[in-house]
Amino acid sequence: MSVSSGKYDVVIVGGGPAGASAAIHLASMGARVMIAEQKKFPRAKLCGEFISPECLEHFARLGVEERMLAAGGARLNETVFYSRNGSKVDVPSEWFGARRMALGLSRAEMDNNLLMRARETGAEVFEETQGTGLLIERGRVRGVRLKSSGEVFECTARIVVDATGREHALSRFFGDRANGHSRMTRRSRTLVAFKAHLENARGLANVCEIYFYRGGYGGLSRVENGLSNLCFIASARDVRACRSDAGRVMREVVMSNARARETLGDARPACEWLAVSLDGFGRRALAPACGLIAIGDAASFIDPFTGSGMLMALESGELAAQTIARWLAESFSDENPKMLAEDYSARYSQKFAARLRICALVRRAAFVPRLAEAMIFALGKSDAARRRLARATREGKRKK
C-alpha cells in the first residue's frame, strides 16, 4: 500500500453513511480526504434499514439518489407502531420531506453506493483498513495509525473524524493512554440488538412495522429481493434466558407482541443473524480530543424506533463537512483547532439536542408495555399530536 506517511486535510475512519457523506461533501469542495474502512464493501450491517424521506433529499445532494432508487428497495408509505396487545397508530411517510415516501434498502447496497460515490468525488478510500491508534503531538491529534494486510502505516491530517459507529473506536482511545495512543475501555451493556433478512414474513409490503414489548422493541420492513428486514432490541437478561439464540429471542420475546406473532409466525432467516451489545443511547463526546471530532453514531446514538438514525448519520456528516470546510478555507491555525471544535459542537447541539431529549422521553414509555399502550392510544386520538411528536424526533431547536 502506497499511502505511508500520507498527508491529508481530513482523515475519516469509518466508511458508513456518516463517514461517506462527510467525505463526499468535503471532496466535492476540494479538500484532500481519505477514508479508512475496516470492512470490505458491500457487507451486511446490523441496522433497521429504514431510509426516511428526508434521506432521499440528502442522497440528491450527494449525487446518489437515482442509483439508490434503482437498487430494488421497497417504497414505504407509512410506519405503524403496535403495542403488545395489538393496538396501533400510524405515521405516514408523506409527513416528512418532499419525496413523500421512505425506502427499505439493505445497508450492503446503500453503504456501497455511498462509498463508490466518495471515490468518484476524489476521496481516497481504503477498505479492510483498521484504525489502531492516533498520532498525538503536544496534546493534539495529528493523524491516525492504520493497519491493512499486516502492514502498519501512518497518515497525518489537519483534522481526524471518528465515523466508526456505535463503538466510537477512535474516541475511546482517550483513556489509559500509552505511547501516544491508548487502550479502549468498555462499559457494562444491558441491551442486545439482532438483525436478519427473513423469508415468508407477513408484514405489509409498503409499511414499516414497529413492535413494542417488555424491555425492547423491533422493526420489520421489506427490502430488496422480496425479503424483509427484522431488527430488534431486547434486554440482555431476556437474551441470556434464551441462551443467546436469536431465533428463540424472536419467538419468545418479540412475538410476545400480538402483531409480531401474526407477521413472524412462518418467517425464516435467509441469512445468518447479526448481533451486537449496546451501551445505551444518547450523545457522546463531539470533540473528544483536540484535532478529533465525532460524527454519526460515534457522536450520538438515537433510538432506532424513531426512524431517524440514518437521517442523523447523513445530517451529521454534512454538518461536519460544512464546519471543516469553513475552518480549512479561513486558514485557522493548525496549531489550535479549538475554534473548529467549538463551532461544530454549537451547531451540532442546535440541530440535534432537542430531538435527542424527546427520544429519551419516548424511550422510557416504549420499554414499558402499559406505557407504550397508553401512548399509542393517546396519539391515535389526534393526528396533530402524532405529527408534532413525529416531527420532534427529526427537527432541531428552532431559531428565533
Beta bridge partners of 159: 10
Question: Model confidence at 246, in pLDDT bands (50, 70, 90)?
Answer: very high
Q: How many structural domains are present in the chain?
A: 1
278/190 Cα distance (integer angstroms): 7
Q: Which three cell numbers stand for residue 33?
A: 480526504
Residue 189 to residue 234: CA distance in whole angstroms = 12
Q: pLDDT class for 138, splitting at 50, 70, 90?
A: confident
Q: What value does the mean pLDDT of the chain take?
A: 89
Residue 272 grid cell: 445468518
Is the model more confident about 102 or about 375?
102
- Residues 230 and 18: their CA atoms lie apart, in Å, by 22
Q: Are strands 151-162 and 6-13 parallel, antiparallel or unpaired?
A: parallel
Structural domain includes residue 79: yes
The verdict on residue 398 lying in a domain is no
Q: Is 357 exposed, middle or buried (0-12, 13-18, 19+ CB in 10 A)?
A: middle
Q: Percent of the chain having pLDDT more than 70? A: 92
Could you tell me if residue 238 is inside a domain? no
Of residues 189 and 368, the one with the higher pLDDT is 368
| 375 within a domain of the structure (yes/no) | yes
Indicate whether 191 belongs to any domain. no
pLDDT for 281-337, tens place per residue? Answer: 888 899 999 999 999 999 998 888 788 899 999 999 999 999 999 998 876 555 567
Please report the pLDDT score of residue 186 as a whole number.
40
pLDDT tens for 201-211 read: 999 999 999 99
Q: Please check whether residue 302 is in contact with residue 312, taking contact to mean a CB–CB distance below 8 angstroms.
A: yes
CATH number of the domain enclosing 89: 3.50.50.60
Residue 241 or residue 187, greater confidence: 241
Asked whether 195 and 186 are in contact (CB, 8 A), the reply is no
State which residues form the domain around 142. Answer: 6-186+281-392
Does some domain include residue 274? no
| pLDDT in the model for residue 25 | 98
Rounded-to-integer distance, Cα 219 and Cα 199, Å: 15
Average of per-residue pLDDT across 255-269: 97
Structure-block grid coordinates of residue 319: 454538518
pLDDT score of 392 = 81
pLDDT attached to residue 334? 56
Nearest in space to 163 (alpha carbons), one of 266, 45, 15 = 15
Is residue 37 predicted with pLDDT exceeding 90? yes
Q: Given pLDDT bands bounded at 50, 70 and 90, which one contains residue 366?
A: confident
155, part of any domain: yes
Contact status, residue 226 vs residue 182, Cβ threshold 8 Å? no
Confirm whether 53 is domain-assigned: yes
Backbone angles phi, psi at 381, to 5 degrees: -85, -15
Grid cell at residue 114: 455511498
pLDDT mean over 103-111: 97
